[in-house]
Structure 1
Amino acid sequence: MAAMDAVLAKIDENRDAALGRLFELLRIPSISTDPAYADACESAARFLADELSGLGFKSSVRATKGRPMVLAHAKATRRDVPHVLFYGHYDVQPVDPRSLWNTDPFAPHVTEVDGVKAIVARGASDDKGQLMTFVEACRAFMETGGLPCDVSILFEGEEETGSPSLPAFLAENKAELKADLALVCDTGMWDRETPSITTMLRGLVLEEIVVTAANRDLHSGMYGGAATNPIHLVARIIADLHDAEGRITLPGFYDGVEELPRDVADQWKALPFDDSDFLGQVGLSVPAGEQDRSVLEKIWARPTCDVNGIWGGYTGSGSKTVLPSKASAKVSFRLVGKQNPAKIAEAFRGFVRERLPSDCQVEFISHGGSPALALPFSSEALNRAKRALQAEWDKEPVMAGSGGSIPIVGSFKQDLKMDTLMIGFALDDDRIHSPNEKYDLASFQKGARSWARVLNALAL
């Protein structure tokens, strides 16, 4: 405990200097999607590599077909300790529309936002402020005796453009990147005082259908009522995908869907989450989906089926009395637990075929799929991280789910066979991807202390 106290004291002592280092990184306009900022991305990568080298890491900037990666390694002071791989990204979103920023997006400063001190700049929360919390935790360890775990760090520069260079980089450097556990800081807190660990990410299946009836568009006065209208077929298929209680009707759809552990379910029920307020913010009031599930459970831990687009026939101004030859729809499924993406896609295709007349055809277009990911609730790493965060924030961390996906976590699991601890300190109101992005000063300062506690807990 004396050693941990020294590390935390060093983080507190370094606060002003740490903020200055973050400001240096935030001043670099590392917008990955725009080729005009390629040199800035190189500069951000070099800045991080130099920072890590200065701490004693063996670091390098690795070229890719796109923006460069930063890879660094450092050993602990003891043997037989865990090896962790920390991931973050240094690239940022464009700042448009520039006119909506109150100040220069790349002139970071601390100001009060809604009465709370915050760092304002593009990338402050997503993801430069987040990744620097980990760097500052490592710095404090290095300045007080050394790291408690073997640490590798991977910073990429294309996360905001879909990480096109990442799969090849992981494949080519698999042995160097392999660790016992991955750490990701691109997530958030429950609220300003309550930390969170994201334990679940939903998977995804994306399907498009094109239903063809007649061999050409038809006059509705001559053929209406006798010829099949493919829009009617697609509408019926969509309507049949859910029953009256909001459950999804594909055969075998719920195979592999697991119930929450009782303690996690109880924690979620006790959270200050207002269903009416959540829906009210988008102008709704009546929850959809499975009627026997809470809204929070629906968006964090239940599978879904949604129609993302439907079209066919005449959609211009005025009217046109036509029976279209074709009608189309795009459908997405969010998956949880052990649901199998391939089986879900095949069940959907069978479901569609069963609802077509024998003289109609359907074309299926797959837009990909990936399984859900979850860190087992019995994981020792998870339990140690929970205790570490509670020690720093004096509140039990929320075991959160995520309705979306973090592709790198899937890559770590599938390609490197590693589980991931997802611990972040962003807030819902950080305005990521929007003008006036911010990161609470407390998130930055206590985030560094939190990572120090987590690293120490993992090594005990």
Structure 2
Amino acid sequence: MTTQHLAAVLDEVDSTLDASLARLFDFIRIPSISTDPAYAGDCRRAADWLVGELTALGFDASARDTTGHPMVVAHGSEEGPHVLFYGHYDVQPVDPLELWTAPPFEPSLVPQPDGETHIRGRGASDDKGQLLTFIEACRAWKAVTGKLPIRVSMLFEGEEEAGSPSLAPFLEASAAELKADVMLVCDTDMWDRDTPAITTMWRGLVAEEFEVTAADRDLHSGMFGNAARNAAEVVGAIVGRLRDADGRVLVPGFYDGVRELPEAIKAQWSRLPFDEVKFLGDVGLSVPAGEKGRSVLEQIWARPSCEINGVSGGYTGAGFKTVIPAKASAKVSFRLVAGQDPIAIRDSFRAFVRSLVPSDCSVEFKSFGAAPAQVMPLEGDFLTKARQALTDEWNREAALAGTGGSIPILGEFKRRLGIDSLLVGFARFDNRVHSPNEKYDLSSFHKGIRSWVRILAAFAQ
């Protein structure tokens, strides 16, 4: 029955695109900025807007109060495989306002010279346009068949742009209700403007700051130079010991549990239209760093990294001051891959630093988070079906991509609900998310809806 109705549901998406777009415009007009308390009422209004739309579609939907902004939870009544779809209705602040070419909460269609049309407005891509592609796909199925082909639940939060402080407690309290077979997450990108992608791996994170103290005050370099320990020099020596000449991280045990990339994935990545020279050239570089003998994609997606995010100490103001710094610090982050234990890495890093601090100096540490990497099982039934559905819609082999970033909330879903996340989204790298003149391509919105229609049908088979 599902296959029989697929063409009619896709036709419904095409014929009602203007109405879908009007709903997106209404949604964007709500200035749901989560980080500014002045917009708390608008965040509530956005949550209520979603509840109204979902209730009208036959979902059991409600806005659940938290210590922050509301969670929107919706459940369908159908049988079959059960998916939990996640998105967020909050948006970033719009500053600097003067750089917008039109008011950020007055969405508009902007034709482009290449024939594309941009949907411009804050939240158009991140994440209102993205999450609405799924809701509109459900709407099309309901319009044609009166029901969805599988069981669907939805969870929309209003604090993603503020660090999701209410999410973990809410998941803990609602785990039994939210349990599903797979999590669907839309807040992600395509490979390029014509190639869909499923993000199957994302790196974990350990973020640390250490501060070395030498003398009890800054010292005159003429009076104490050579004789007194320089805290900035100590910090510089430590960060200089974190990698060897071939780019390998030297923290003991850092590579414990790290596995080589499967040959099938390596071959698939090699077929992707990716220009390593342009990738670095676009940021003014030309020589790959990191582990020698690894491709750029492998380095940023599938290998762990160590980066110095900032170093400070001594006099850094205008002019010159000849001091020997008593204190200096460095911020260091590690991006982790599957198999690495973030707590073990943090502890090993701290022991490594302590081993390099002179006996007459001291060191203190501050943690800014530790989260494991996540990997979607490549042989999973949901992934296989979603990939084929995307390939059918876009007439391009859907890429199985990684991301060099870390997505801590996905770890929360795995830890609290025990389910894997499938990341499918239709944003493009030039969508200017978090920046003035954010946009979402009209083709992304349209074909995104069609893609979810196909994925729901595929999951029903």
**TM-score, normalised via structure 1 length:** 0.96
Aligned to 2:81: 82
Aligned to 1:94: 93
Aligned to 1:319: 320
How far is the alpha carbon of 1:90 from its aligned partner?
0.9
Aligned to 1:437: 438
Give distance in 2, aligned partners of 1:213 and 1:95.
44
5 Å matches for 1:262-277? 262-277=263-278
Q: Which runs of 5+ in 1 are unaligned?
A: none
Judge which range, 98-107 or 149-158, deviates more: 98-107
Give distance in 2, aligned partners of 1:95 and 1:375.
34
Give distance in 2, aligned partners of 1:100 and 1:346.
44
Give distance in 1, aligned partners of 2:324 and 2:103.
54
Q: 1:316 is paired with a residue of what secondary structure?
A: coil
Aligned to 2:257: 256
Give distance in 1, aligned partners of 2:309 and 2:320.
25
CA contact (8 A) 1:75 1:149 kept: no
The structure-2 alpha-carbon separation of the partners of 1:34 and 1:113, relative to structure 1 and needing over 3 Å to count, comes to farther
How far is the alpha carbon of 1:429 from its aligned partner?
0.8
5 Å matches for 1:176-187? 176-187=177-188
Once superposed, which parts of structure 1, at least 4 consecutive aligned residues long, lie more than 4 Å away? none
CA contact (8 A) 2:71 2:155 kept: yes
CA contact (8 A) 1:245 1:291 kept: yes
* Code of the aligned partner of 2:96: P
Aligned to 1:407: 408
Residue 102 of structure 2 is aligned to residue 103 of structure 1: yes
Give distance in 2, aligned partners of 1:114 and 1:130.
24
Give distance in 2, aligned partners of 1:110 and 1:364.
50
5 Å matches for 1:20-35? 20-35=22-37
CA contact (8 A) 1:256 1:338 kept: yes
Aligned to 1:135: 135
Q: 1:151 is paired with a residue of what secondary structure?
A: strand
Judge which range, 49-58 or 11-20, deviates more: 11-20
CA contact (8 A) 1:194 1:396 kept: yes
* Code of the aligned partner of 1:420: S
5 Å matches for 1:135-284? 135-145=135-145, 146-284=147-285
CA shift digits 1:303-332 (9 cap, x unpaired): 110111111122223332322222211111
How far is the alpha carbon of 1:398 from its aligned partner?
0.8
How far is the alpha carbon of 1:114 from its aligned partner?
4.3
Q: 1:253 is paired with a residue of what secondary structure?
A: coil
Give distance in 1, aligned partners of 2:299 and 2:170.
35
Aligned to 1:2: 4
Aligned to 1:69: 71
Aligned to 1:328: 329
Give distance in 1, aligned partners of 2:414 and 2:333.
23
How far is the alpha carbon of 1:264 from its aligned partner?
1.4
Aligned to 2:417: 416
Aligned to 2:449: 448
* Code of the aligned partner of 2:45: S
Give distance in 2, aligned partners of 1:378 and 1:244.
37
CA shift digits 1:233-286 (9 cap, x unpaired): 111111111110111111111112222221211121222211221122222222
**TM-score, normalised via structure 2 length:** 0.96
Give distance in 1, aligned partners of 2:401 and 2:237.
36
How far is the alpha carbon of 1:417 from its aligned partner?
0.8
CA contact (8 A) 2:337 2:372 kept: yes
CA contact (8 A) 2:106 2:121 kept: yes
Give distance in 1, aligned partners of 2:375 and 2:427.
21
5 Å matches for 1:320-399? 320-399=321-400
Give distance in 1, aligned partners of 2:362 and 2:409.
38
CA contact (8 A) 2:29 2:105 kept: yes
Give distance in 2, aligned partners of 1:219 and 1:103.
55
Percent identity of equivalent pairs: 60
CA contact (8 A) 2:431 2:438 kept: yes
CA contact (8 A) 2:335 2:406 kept: no
5 Å matches for 1:32-71? 32-71=34-73
Residue 106 of structure 2 is aligned to residue 125 of structure 1: no
Q: 2:368 is paired with a residue of what secondary structure?
A: strand
